[in-house]
Structure 1
Protein backbone atom coordinates (compact mmCIF):
# COMPACT_ATOMS: atom_id res chain seq x y z
CA UNK A 1 0.00 0.00 0.00
CA UNK A 2 1.41 3.37 -0.96
CA UNK A 3 2.00 6.12 1.55
CA UNK A 4 -0.59 8.87 1.94
CA UNK A 5 0.86 12.37 1.62
CA UNK A 6 -0.86 15.62 2.56
CA UNK A 7 0.37 18.76 0.79
CA UNK A 8 -0.73 22.14 2.16
CA UNK A 9 0.29 25.15 0.05
CA UNK A 10 -1.47 28.34 -1.03
CA UNK A 11 -0.05 28.21 -4.57
CA UNK A 12 -2.30 26.04 -6.81
CA UNK A 13 0.44 25.53 -9.40
CA UNK A 14 2.87 24.22 -6.75
CA UNK A 15 0.16 21.95 -5.36
CA UNK A 16 -0.66 20.50 -8.76
CA UNK A 17 3.00 20.03 -9.74
CA UNK A 18 3.82 18.30 -6.46
CA UNK A 19 0.70 16.14 -6.67
CA UNK A 20 1.49 15.00 -10.20
CA UNK A 21 5.13 14.22 -9.47
CA UNK A 22 4.43 12.41 -6.22
CA UNK A 23 1.54 10.37 -7.63
CA UNK A 24 3.22 9.46 -10.91
CA UNK A 25 6.91 9.24 -10.03
CA UNK A 26 6.62 8.29 -6.38
CA UNK A 27 3.36 6.35 -6.71
CA UNK A 28 2.00 7.93 -3.53
CA UNK A 29 -1.61 8.69 -2.62
CA UNK A 30 -1.79 12.50 -2.40
CA UNK A 31 -4.30 14.84 -0.78
CA UNK A 32 -3.89 18.57 -1.45
CA UNK A 33 -5.15 21.65 0.39
CA UNK A 34 -4.82 25.32 -0.60
CA UNK A 35 -5.26 26.60 2.93
CA UNK A 36 -4.43 25.72 6.49
CA UNK A 37 -7.05 23.52 8.11
CA UNK A 38 -9.23 25.24 10.69
CA UNK A 39 -8.50 22.43 13.14
CA UNK A 40 -5.78 19.79 13.40
CA UNK A 41 -8.52 17.21 13.92
CA UNK A 42 -9.12 17.43 10.16
CA UNK A 43 -5.53 16.26 9.61
CA UNK A 44 -6.04 13.54 12.21
CA UNK A 45 -9.04 12.26 10.20
CA UNK A 46 -6.99 12.14 6.98
CA UNK A 47 -4.24 10.09 8.68
CA UNK A 48 -1.42 11.10 6.33
CA UNK A 49 1.92 9.30 6.54
CA UNK A 50 3.72 12.58 5.74
CA UNK A 51 2.81 16.27 5.49
CA UNK A 52 4.44 18.77 3.12
CA UNK A 53 3.61 22.14 4.63
CA UNK A 54 4.18 25.58 3.16
CA UNK A 55 5.71 27.98 5.69
CA UNK A 56 3.98 31.16 4.50
CA UNK A 57 0.39 31.74 3.51
CA UNK A 58 -0.46 35.17 2.09
CA UNK A 59 2.78 36.63 3.51
CA UNK A 60 1.96 35.33 7.00
CA UNK A 61 3.82 32.56 8.79
CA UNK A 62 0.66 30.48 9.20
CA UNK A 63 2.53 27.32 8.31
CA UNK A 64 4.74 27.79 11.36
CA UNK A 65 1.67 28.25 13.60
CA UNK A 66 -0.03 25.17 12.13
CA UNK A 67 3.16 23.14 12.52
CA UNK A 68 3.18 23.97 16.22
CA UNK A 69 -0.49 22.91 16.55
CA UNK A 70 0.24 19.61 14.79
CA UNK A 71 3.19 18.89 17.08
CA UNK A 72 1.14 19.68 20.22
CA UNK A 73 -1.83 17.48 19.24
CA UNK A 74 -1.13 13.90 20.41
CA UNK A 75 -2.71 12.09 17.39
CA UNK A 76 -0.72 14.20 14.87
CA UNK A 77 2.53 14.88 16.76
CA UNK A 78 4.34 11.89 15.25
CA UNK A 79 3.43 12.58 11.61
CA UNK A 80 6.63 13.54 9.78
CA UNK A 81 6.55 17.01 8.24
CA UNK A 82 8.59 18.59 5.46
CA UNK A 83 8.49 22.37 5.62
CA UNK A 84 8.40 23.98 2.16
CA UNK A 85 9.29 27.61 1.63
CA UNK A 86 10.55 30.21 -0.77
CA UNK A 87 11.33 32.42 2.22
CA UNK A 88 14.98 31.65 2.74
CA UNK A 89 15.42 34.64 5.05
CA UNK A 90 12.38 33.69 7.14
CA UNK A 91 13.45 30.11 7.79
CA UNK A 92 17.25 30.13 7.59
CA UNK A 93 17.58 31.65 11.07
CA UNK A 94 15.49 28.81 12.49
CA UNK A 95 16.91 26.05 10.30
CA UNK A 96 19.00 24.55 13.10
CA UNK A 97 15.95 24.32 15.37
CA UNK A 98 13.96 22.56 12.64
CA UNK A 99 16.88 20.21 12.03
CA UNK A 100 17.07 19.32 15.74
CA UNK A 101 13.35 18.55 15.71
CA UNK A 102 13.73 16.35 12.63
CA UNK A 103 11.80 18.71 10.31
CA UNK A 104 13.59 19.01 6.97
CA UNK A 105 13.19 22.13 4.85
CA UNK A 106 12.60 22.05 1.11
CA UNK A 107 13.48 25.43 -0.36
CA UNK A 108 11.52 26.61 -3.41
CA UNK A 109 12.38 26.44 -6.21
CA UNK A 110 13.49 22.83 -5.92
CA UNK A 111 14.40 20.02 -8.31
CA UNK A 112 11.82 17.27 -8.63
CA UNK A 113 14.42 14.65 -7.70
CA UNK A 114 15.11 16.61 -4.52
CA UNK A 115 11.40 16.47 -3.64
CA UNK A 116 11.15 12.74 -4.31
CA UNK A 117 14.37 11.94 -2.41
CA UNK A 118 13.36 13.96 0.63
CA UNK A 119 9.89 12.40 0.75
CA UNK A 120 11.36 8.89 0.53
CA UNK A 121 13.96 9.64 3.22
CA UNK A 122 11.32 11.01 5.59
CA UNK A 123 9.01 8.05 5.05
CA UNK A 124 11.88 5.56 5.48
CA UNK A 125 12.98 7.28 8.68
CA UNK A 126 9.40 7.22 10.01
CA UNK A 127 9.06 3.49 9.15
CA UNK A 128 12.36 2.67 10.86
CA UNK A 129 11.47 4.76 13.91
CA UNK A 130 8.02 3.20 14.31
CA UNK A 131 9.37 -0.36 13.96
CA UNK A 132 11.85 0.30 16.76
CA UNK A 133 9.16 1.38 19.22
Structure 2
Protein backbone atom coordinates (compact mmCIF):
# COMPACT_ATOMS: atom_id res chain seq x y z
CA UNK A 1 0.00 0.00 0.00
CA UNK A 2 3.02 2.29 0.05
CA UNK A 3 3.25 4.92 -2.66
CA UNK A 4 6.10 7.14 -3.66
CA UNK A 5 5.13 10.17 -5.67
CA UNK A 6 8.44 12.00 -6.06
CA UNK A 7 11.86 10.53 -6.61
CA UNK A 8 14.51 13.04 -5.68
CA UNK A 9 17.50 13.61 -3.45
CA UNK A 10 15.45 15.51 -0.86
CA UNK A 11 14.56 14.39 2.64
CA UNK A 12 12.29 11.34 2.60
CA UNK A 13 9.14 11.54 4.72
CA UNK A 14 6.95 8.51 5.39
CA UNK A 15 3.36 9.45 6.27
CA UNK A 16 1.13 6.76 7.80
CA UNK A 17 -2.54 7.62 8.14
CA UNK A 18 -5.72 5.64 7.45
CA UNK A 19 -7.42 8.59 5.73
CA UNK A 20 -6.57 8.86 2.01
CA UNK A 21 -7.60 12.52 1.89
CA UNK A 22 -5.14 13.36 4.69
CA UNK A 23 -2.42 11.43 2.82
CA UNK A 24 -3.23 13.39 -0.35
CA UNK A 25 -2.99 16.64 1.60
CA UNK A 26 0.38 15.67 3.09
CA UNK A 27 1.68 14.57 -0.32
CA UNK A 28 0.66 17.83 -1.98
CA UNK A 29 1.95 20.00 0.87
CA UNK A 30 5.26 18.23 1.44
CA UNK A 31 6.16 17.73 -2.21
CA UNK A 32 5.51 21.45 -2.64
CA UNK A 33 8.08 22.02 0.10
CA UNK A 34 10.63 19.88 -1.74
CA UNK A 35 10.38 16.62 0.23
CA UNK A 36 10.10 13.09 -1.13
CA UNK A 37 6.85 11.61 0.23
CA UNK A 38 5.95 7.96 0.80
CA UNK A 39 2.45 7.25 2.11
CA UNK A 40 0.65 4.29 3.63
CA UNK A 41 -2.92 3.79 4.84
CA UNK A 42 -1.81 1.14 7.31
CA UNK A 43 0.98 0.63 9.79
CA UNK A 44 3.75 -1.70 8.80
CA UNK A 45 3.88 -4.99 10.67
CA UNK A 46 7.66 -5.13 10.66
CA UNK A 47 9.81 -2.15 11.51
CA UNK A 48 12.34 -3.60 9.06
CA UNK A 49 9.92 -2.44 6.33
CA UNK A 50 10.32 1.12 7.59
CA UNK A 51 14.09 0.70 7.89
CA UNK A 52 14.31 -0.35 4.21
CA UNK A 53 12.60 2.91 3.20
CA UNK A 54 15.38 4.90 4.90
CA UNK A 55 13.06 7.69 6.06
CA UNK A 56 14.39 10.98 7.36
CA UNK A 57 11.06 11.47 9.20
CA UNK A 58 7.92 9.46 9.98
CA UNK A 59 4.60 11.30 10.40
CA UNK A 60 2.26 8.93 12.15
CA UNK A 61 -1.40 8.99 13.12
CA UNK A 62 -2.06 7.60 16.58
CA UNK A 63 -5.25 5.79 15.62
CA UNK A 64 -5.18 3.66 12.50
CA UNK A 65 -8.55 2.01 11.99
CA UNK A 66 -10.27 1.55 15.33
CA UNK A 67 -7.06 0.78 17.23
CA UNK A 68 -4.09 2.75 18.47
CA UNK A 69 -1.81 1.01 15.97
CA UNK A 70 0.16 4.22 15.48
CA UNK A 71 1.16 4.19 19.15
CA UNK A 72 2.38 0.60 18.83
CA UNK A 73 4.25 1.45 15.63
CA UNK A 74 5.92 4.43 17.32
CA UNK A 75 7.08 2.20 20.19
CA UNK A 76 8.44 -0.42 17.77
CA UNK A 77 10.33 2.26 15.81
CA UNK A 78 11.90 3.54 19.03
CA UNK A 79 12.88 0.07 20.28
CA UNK A 80 14.42 -1.13 16.99
CA UNK A 81 18.07 0.07 16.87
CA UNK A 82 18.18 0.98 13.12
CA UNK A 83 15.06 3.22 13.42
CA UNK A 84 15.34 4.52 16.98
CA UNK A 85 16.90 7.82 15.86
CA UNK A 86 14.44 8.50 13.01
CA UNK A 87 12.39 11.55 14.00
CA UNK A 88 8.67 10.95 14.49
CA UNK A 89 5.82 13.45 14.49
CA UNK A 90 2.44 12.30 15.78
CA UNK A 91 -0.39 13.89 13.82
CA UNK A 92 -3.67 12.90 15.40
CA UNK A 93 -7.18 13.87 16.44
CA UNK A 94 -6.91 11.61 19.53
CA UNK A 95 -6.56 14.56 21.87
CA UNK A 96 -7.41 12.80 25.15
CA UNK A 97 -5.21 9.77 24.51
CA UNK A 98 -2.20 11.88 23.64
CA UNK A 99 -2.70 14.42 26.42
CA UNK A 100 -2.25 11.58 28.92
CA UNK A 101 1.16 10.82 27.36
CA UNK A 102 2.21 14.34 26.37
CA UNK A 103 5.05 14.67 28.88
CA UNK A 104 6.48 11.28 27.83
CA UNK A 105 6.34 12.34 24.19
CA UNK A 106 8.03 15.66 24.99
CA UNK A 107 10.78 13.85 26.90
CA UNK A 108 11.38 11.64 23.86
CA UNK A 109 11.40 14.62 21.48
CA UNK A 110 8.27 13.55 19.61
CA UNK A 111 6.22 16.58 18.55
CA UNK A 112 2.44 16.27 18.41
CA UNK A 113 0.30 18.11 15.89
CA UNK A 114 -3.43 17.85 16.56
CA UNK A 115 -6.00 17.53 13.78
CA UNK A 116 -7.43 19.60 12.36
CA UNK A 117 -4.05 21.25 11.95
CA UNK A 118 -2.91 24.51 10.46
CA UNK A 119 -0.49 24.06 7.54
CA UNK A 120 2.05 26.37 9.18
CA UNK A 121 1.83 24.28 12.35
CA UNK A 122 2.72 21.01 10.61
CA UNK A 123 5.49 22.68 8.60
CA UNK A 124 6.96 24.19 11.77
CA UNK A 125 7.00 20.73 13.40
CA UNK A 126 8.68 19.23 10.30
CA UNK A 127 11.26 21.99 10.06
CA UNK A 128 12.05 21.54 13.77
CA UNK A 129 13.23 17.95 13.13
CA UNK A 130 14.49 18.08 9.51
CA UNK A 131 17.03 20.27 7.78
CA UNK A 132 15.92 22.61 5.04
CA UNK A 133 15.07 20.48 1.94
CA UNK A 134 17.57 22.40 -0.23
CA UNK A 135 20.43 21.75 2.23
CA UNK A 136 19.42 18.09 2.56
CA UNK A 137 19.43 17.63 -1.21
CA UNK A 138 23.10 18.53 -1.43
CA UNK A 139 24.14 16.09 1.31
CA UNK A 140 21.73 13.12 0.87
CA UNK A 141 23.40 10.00 -0.45
CA UNK A 142 21.37 7.02 -1.64
Task: Identify which of 18, 21, 25 aligns with 2:29.
Answer: 21
Deviations 1:104-125 (A, max 9, x none): 001000011111111011114x
TM-score, normalised with respect to structure 1: 0.90
Deviations 1:65-100 (A, max 9, x none): 111111111110100000111010111111011000
Residue 58 of structure 1: CA displacement? 1.5
TM-score, normalised with respect to structure 2: 0.84
Report the count of equivalent residues.
124
Is 1:62 aligned with 2:62?
no
Which residue does the alignment assign to 1:108?
115
Which residue does the alignment assign to 2:81?
74
Which residue does the alignment assign to 1:45?
52
Q: Which runs of 4+ in 1 moved over 4 A?
A: none
Give the CA RMSD over aligned residues: 1.1
> What is the alpha-carbon distance in structure 2 between the residues aligned to residue 115 and residue 103 of structure 1?
13
Residue 59 of structure 1: CA displacement? 2.2
Task: Identify which of 83, 88, 94 aligns with 2:101.
Answer: 94
